[in-house]
Amino acid sequence: MARAVTTQRKALNTLAAWTVGLLIFFPILWTILTSFKTEAAAIADPPVFLFFDWTTENYSAVMQRSDYAQFLWNSIVIAGGSTVLGLIVAIPAAWSMAFVPSKRTKDILLWMLSTKMLPAVGVLYPIYLLFIRLGLLDTKIGLTLVLMLINLPIIVWMLYTYFREIPGEILEAARMDGASLRDEILYVLTPMAVPGIASTLLLNFILAWNEAFWTLNLTAAKAAPLTAFIASYSSPEGLFYAKLSAASTMAIAPILIMGWFSQKQLVRGLTFGAVK
């Protein structure tokens, strides 16, 4: 009897999980489907779900009009660069906060997070003017720096929670064995925290990839990533939904595929430290 109930519950849970999952994924699925419709089918009312004339004309139109490879490369450099740079800064910072906290550590953590509470547009002008002065407008290095700084609080916070799960005694033992601070972080702490670091890396890569405020405002022709590529297909006067969907699908495809392959890491990392 007990077994039957469990199976039933399991089935119910699975069903619920699938429902929620599909609901969340539906807009993306719809975008992908729309990208294969003609412009007329894209706006049809009632909307058509699967039974329409599939076409790839939107993709060829988009490829012909825009230099997808350049946008993609910019996205990879900016998202990858800002994440790696962020980790280089955040690992030592999180180490010190987790293992040698001072009286002010909690305050500093909160203060860091508070920088995320201001809407980005509030500092647009100061940053824009700084970028003009420094010649950083429309450069990949400028965007990399900005995205790194924006995501830094999240990176530090995530790493801090992971590091707190690692017993300080292990690091102490390493120190007793004569490991320097550098060795301790590089050879003891980092390998133990790999799931945490990996999920931080993945999450921040996704955040940086999708960041659409600074990437649109601080770039023009040279450093524009895929967010700008999508924006160039949106229009208030003219129906370009199918082409816009094709551009969106092309922009999210790399990150979607990456997320699919690394979902194990991602889930493990995100739940790491959840059970105390």
Partner 1 sequence: MSNSIRALMGACAIGALATAASAETITVATVNNGDMIRMQGLMDEFNAEYPDIEVEWVTLEENVLRQRVTQDVAAKGGQFDVMTIGTYEVPIWGAQGWLVSLNDLPEEWDADDILPAIRGGLTVDGELYAAPFYGESSMVMYRKDLMEKAGMEMPEAPTWDDISAAAEAMTDKDNEIYGICLRGKAGWGENMAFLSAMANSFGARWFDEDWNAQFDSEAWANTLNTYMDLMTNYGPPGASTNGFNENLSLFQQGKCGMWIDATVAASFVTNPNDSSVADQVGFALAPDNGLGKRGNWLWAWSLGIPAGTDSEEAAKTFVAWATSKEYTELVAEKEGWANVPPGTRTSLYENEEYQKVPFAEMTLNSIEAADPNQPTVDPVPYTGVQFVAIPEFAGIGTQVGQEFSAALAGQQSVEQALENAQAITTDEMEAAGY
Give the span between the Cα atoms of 258 and 24, in whole angstroms: 18
Tell me the two tokens of residue 186: 């590089």
Residue of 220, 261, 275, 276 that binds partner 1 (CB under 8 A): 220
- DSSP assigned state of 273: T
Nearest approach, Cβ of 15 to partner 1 (angstroms)?
33
Nearest approach, Cβ of 202 to partner 1 (angstroms)?
25
- 3-state helix vs strand vs coil in the chain, percent to 5: 75, 0, 25
Instruction: Name which of 152 and 202 has its Cβ closer to partner 1.
Output: 152
Residue of 186, 239, 253, 256 that binds partner 1 (CB under 8 A): 239
Residue of 68, 99, 240, 272 that binds partner 1 (CB under 8 A): 240
Q: Residue 77: which of 152, 137, 141, 134 has the closest Cα?
A: 141
Give the span between the Cα atoms of 254 and 243, in whole angstroms: 18
Nearest approach, Cβ of 187 to partner 1 (angstroms)?
24
By CB under 8 A, residue 256 contacts partner 1: no
Residue of 81, 86, 142, 196 that binds partner 1 (CB under 8 A): 142
Question: Which H or E run includes 241?
Answer: helix 241-261
Give the span between the Cα atoms of 156 and 196, in whole angstroms: 11
By CB under 8 A, residue 145 contacts partner 1: yes
Residue of 96, 232, 262, 265 that binds partner 1 (CB under 8 A): 232
Residue of 28, 44, 110, 123 that binds partner 1 (CB under 8 A): 44
Give the span between the Cα atoms of 81 and 193, in whole angstroms: 21
